[in-house]
Chain A
């Protein structure tokens, strides 16, 4: 099998945008002191005995420049706390968080304000739009906070509102919009400052399924144009495999496994991950690149991107071809995909 071409990371050597080393967050009275007494990696029981409730436990992860990194977990798994630790909205109890190599936990409040103003953006589950501002003013708000003058910030806001498909609604107030439209405003606002690092905290969870799907497509379209580094939180595994380059699965504050969707489906590291991925049709998670053979396809074979899922390849195979030509992002043929390999995977033979 081919290792997936570094199609998702445009840089030749994948730069680490955000690195998280042994990050802990425990809640409780005087948590910092109490935690310091317990040593480097205290057991959950020891924490509970000290009156502390662990929310995030010894998390190590790194997010590559330009990738969509999804943190997946059920409610109470600590994913929301973790993402707030990453942006230091919540102060982690211990650990190191490096953003572009700079330790955020050592940054002063003024430095953090500066970083958040210029380098980070965040989308919220319940949109968090300011009710007293119009769409235009909401989107321009992060720029207003920075003291950018009205004409410049509004010009920039209009640009992004058009980008997210809300042109014409600039003068509306949030409550006059549907949920999907409100989240488009939230997305536009988070992009107004052209952040390097884009946090999305369950952005589509409050929307109904059809709108959710529509916004997921919209999100992928935006990302293909913008190439942001993204940390995306969700509790929906289908959403995770649809969007993610890599997924971290969290349970009880710990990261169970980090990997590409197909890693998780094909080689689950723990029983928990196995339970999670069992119900997922493999064709939806496994990418063409993993199933392709490194040989030359026959001339005129239909093309399929290496990044596409096997399920998407299935549609092309139904068109009648036996073999598909697998191409990388630049359009170069890098291998071939056979009908029998796809059938074997779907029927459960490959694994």
Chain B
């Protein structure tokens, strides 16, 4: 027997590299303070005044910029008019009715659609798209909204969704097609889309506020900016995936370029495009609350208002109404996408369009009856339910009986965990952190990644936001770790129990559609404002991702390998730790990535309860209408997100390759 050749010792062994790098960083940290103060505090003189530049640019846009004879403000005004007109129409139809006159002196000429008609219409769409169960679900959700007295607000919200979604879909489709046609546009758009999706929405609320003013129009513009990127991506991807033969077919039958796009390619990509439509709907609903900060009104405003008053019950009900709306629109749009078309029915107009006929009949009948019976027109006040007093009592009871316990828990965690970590992170020299991030990028993904991670983290320091960024990193990091620590055992417990997983999945699906603000309220009421409150809210919001991905990873492990492990006599614990968790590692890493993204998104919202991080900066900029500061802080958050995302993706990819699991899913 010959001995296997021993691997040649290389200088570039990973341990050695990291050892040297970390010791250098430690030396800098311990003794660098006096030798190299610039490594700890980025020199003020060299700071990039990005906030001032952006602020200046926006002022210039509003006041001076012009395209030939058209001033930039004229263009924004035209866009506003384009959005405003359909919005007014839909709003009259759903919520206010046809009004004559302005403000409080307005007289209703014609009532809005009766609530019974809207419930019936949703049910009809459900019946058309997915049969009776879907019809019942849709009707139940809409009735829920009416019963809990959220109807009027819900219709205002629905009106803005009804306007935003088609605009987002069409806009996304057109930009996506353009990007698919012109590779350079695609390349130029990609980093921009990355940024749009990682940057907190707050950050671009201020510029929109300045360009479009306060009101529903600005809110719809913000919603569009938030909801369009996924549609653009999906469109480009869907068109790229149309089989080459379909292209050849189009050319062989002599299609003009226009016919090729609209008659051949777009219809062939119909299914993924409809997934995009669903995404736009869900993204728009996610924006409901944030958009209400710049004047959207409706359910979002109710939630925000309740949060300011710390009225948990009212906030929860408005929040659940958003969920009900989301569930309805999500299920309906998914069913429409999946619906298989049967042969076309023949006959007269009534036979060919039975659902349309029924819808028209329903509207006419309920409108007429609504004039006679008010309960059909508006849901009767007397029959409304509210749970608000119950929740208020519950919170009060907990506070009275458990105040000391809660305080003790809070203080223990604050003093034992949060504050030490925060101090440690704040004491780190920025130069060392930037260098270590670049090194991690180089080890995981080569010099391009190193340039990205090093460059972005340097920019954070250079724009004078290092300290706040570190606070963001500390809150987000601890929250993500806690979410992972809690999520992993839960995921392991439910992964191979079908029933338990079904229930857990339903639960986390609901948690995910619940607007993030709703998480904040009970925590604020129990722990008041501060880092600890933010931490709990972030963990509660982010844990969903860690559970979902871990379960996916564990379930994806090849059962033959588990069988092989059992055949070798592994105990259950060994199978879990030696086989299942090892193989699920890439998925778990992606879960960590998602957890961090969720945590960052939530972190901005927790600024409302008084954290001291970048989120707070963004929020303050919003209240002061200072576009430069808001955007710069928002960009810094986006940079943190992008650094974390790229590093973890590269790590997951490396793991996958090591395990021979093929390319990314």
Residues of A within 8 A of B248 (CB): 84, 89, 122, 124, 128
Residues of B within 8 A of A134 (CB): 343-344
Chain A 131-142, CB-CB to B under 8 Å as 1, else 0, gives: 111100000011
Known: A126-B245, A131-B270. A171 touches B343 (CB 8 A): yes
Cross-chain contact A128 with B243 (CB below 8 angstroms): yes
Residues 19 to 64 of chain A near chain B (Cβ within 8 Å): none
B574 in the interface (beta carbon within 8 A): no
Residues of A within 8 A of B255 (CB): 113, 145
* Contact among A115, A118, A125, A145 with B263 in the assembled complex (CB-CB below 8 Å): A145
In the complex, what's the smallest C-beta–C-beta distance from A30 to chain B, in angstroms? 16
Cross-chain contact A132 with B270 (CB below 8 angstroms): yes
Measured in the bound complex, the distance between the Cα atoms of B259 and A303 in whole Å is 53
Cross-chain contact A171 with B246 (CB below 8 angstroms): no
A116 in the interface (beta carbon within 8 A): yes
Q: Chain B binding site: helix, strand, loop or mixed by DSSP?
A: helix
In the complex, what's the smallest C-beta–C-beta distance from B595 to chain A, in angstroms? 38
Known: A130-B267, A130-B268. A172 touches B343 (CB 8 A): yes
In the complex, what's the smallest C-beta–C-beta distance from A105 to chain B, in angstroms? 16
> Closest residue of chain B to A114, judged by CB?
B254
In the complex, what's the smallest C-beta–C-beta distance from A136 to chain B, in angstroms? 10
Cross-chain contact A141 with B251 (CB below 8 angstroms): no
A121 in the interface (beta carbon within 8 A): yes
Residues of A within 8 A of B23 (CB): none
Cross-chain contact A89 with B252 (CB below 8 angstroms): yes
B564 in the interface (beta carbon within 8 A): no
B356 in the interface (beta carbon within 8 A): no
Sorting the interface of chain A by its residue count into under 10, 10 to 19, 20 to 34 or 35 or more gives: 20 to 34
Measured in the bound complex, the distance between the Cα atoms of B252 and A120 in whole Å is 7
Measured in the bound complex, the distance between the Cα atoms of B248 and A87 in whole Å is 10
Interface centre among B253, B264, B268 (most CB of A within 10 A): B253
Residues of A within 8 A of B105 (CB): none
> Closest residue of chain A to B253, judged by CB?
A142
A267 in the interface (beta carbon within 8 A): no
Cross-chain contact A128 with B249 (CB below 8 angstroms): yes
Measured in the bound complex, the distance between the Cα atoms of B39 and A128 in whole Å is 62
> Closest residue of chain B to A118, judged by CB?
B254
Residues 595 to 641 of chain B near chain A (Cβ within 8 Å): none
B497 in the interface (beta carbon within 8 A): no
* Contact among B243, B245, B256 with A113 in the assembled complex (CB-CB below 8 Å): B256
B44 in the interface (beta carbon within 8 A): no
Residues of A within 8 A of B252 (CB): 87, 89, 116, 120-122, 199
Measured in the bound complex, the distance between the Cα atoms of B337 and A132 in whole Å is 12
Cross-chain contact B253 with A130 (CB below 8 angstroms): no
Measured in the bound complex, the distance between the Cα atoms of B263 and A141 in whole Å is 9
Cross-chain contact A131 with B268 (CB below 8 angstroms): yes
Sorting the interface of chain B by its residue count into under 10, 10 to 19, 20 to 34 or 35 or more gives: 20 to 34
> Closest residue of chain A to B254, judged by CB?
A117
Residues of B within 8 A of A115 (CB): 254
Cross-chain contact B254 with A116 (CB below 8 angstroms): yes
In the complex, what's the smallest C-beta–C-beta distance from B513 to chain A, in angstroms? 31
In the complex, what's the smallest C-beta–C-beta distance from B119 to chain A, in angstroms? 31
> Closest residue of chain B to A141, judged by CB?
B253
Residues of A within 8 A of B351 (CB): none
Residues of B within 8 A of A122 (CB): 248-249, 252
In the complex, what's the smallest C-beta–C-beta distance from A139 to chain B, in angstroms? 11
B499 in the interface (beta carbon within 8 A): no
In the complex, what's the smallest C-beta–C-beta distance from A108 to chain B, in angstroms? 13
Residues 112 to 166 of chain A near chain B (Cβ within 8 Å): 113-118, 120-122, 124-128, 130-134, 141-142, 144-146
Interface centre among B251, B252, B254, B264 (most CB of A within 10 A): B252
Residues of A within 8 A of B245 (CB): 124-128
B15 in the interface (beta carbon within 8 A): no
In the complex, what's the smallest C-beta–C-beta distance from A330 to chain B, in angstroms? 36
Residues of B within 8 A of A121 (CB): 252
Residues of A within 8 A of B264 (CB): 130
B658 in the interface (beta carbon within 8 A): no
* Contact among B246, B254, B340 with A130 in the assembled complex (CB-CB below 8 Å): B246
Interface centre among B248, B251, B264 (most CB of A within 10 A): B248
Measured in the bound complex, the distance between the Cα atoms of B248 and A122 in whole Å is 9
Measured in the bound complex, the distance between the Cα atoms of B416 and A226 in whole Å is 88
Measured in the bound complex, the distance between the Cα atoms of B249 and A127 in whole Å is 9
B341 in the interface (beta carbon within 8 A): yes
Task: List the 9 shortest-distance A-B pairs measured between CB atoms, nearest first.
Answer: A117-B254, A171-B343, A142-B253, A128-B245, A116-B254, A128-B249, A122-B252, A132-B267, A113-B254
23 pairs of residues in contact across A and B, judged by CB atoms under 8 Å: A89-B248, A115-B254, A116-B253, A116-B254, A120-B252, A122-B248, A128-B243, A128-B246, A128-B249, A130-B249, A130-B267, A132-B267, A132-B270, A133-B267, A134-B343, A134-B344, A141-B263, A142-B253, A145-B254, A171-B344, A173-B340, A193-B253, A199-B252
A interface residue numbers (CB < 8 A to B): 84, 87, 89, 113-118, 120-122, 124-128, 130-134, 141-142, 144-146, 171-173, 175, 193, 199
Q: Known A-B contacts: A116-B253, A134-B344. Give 19 more (CB < 8 A).
A: A84-B248, A113-B254, A118-B254, A124-B249, A127-B245, A128-B245, A128-B246, A130-B249, A130-B267, A131-B267, A132-B267, A132-B268, A133-B267, A142-B253, A144-B263, A145-B253, A145-B255, A146-B254, A173-B341
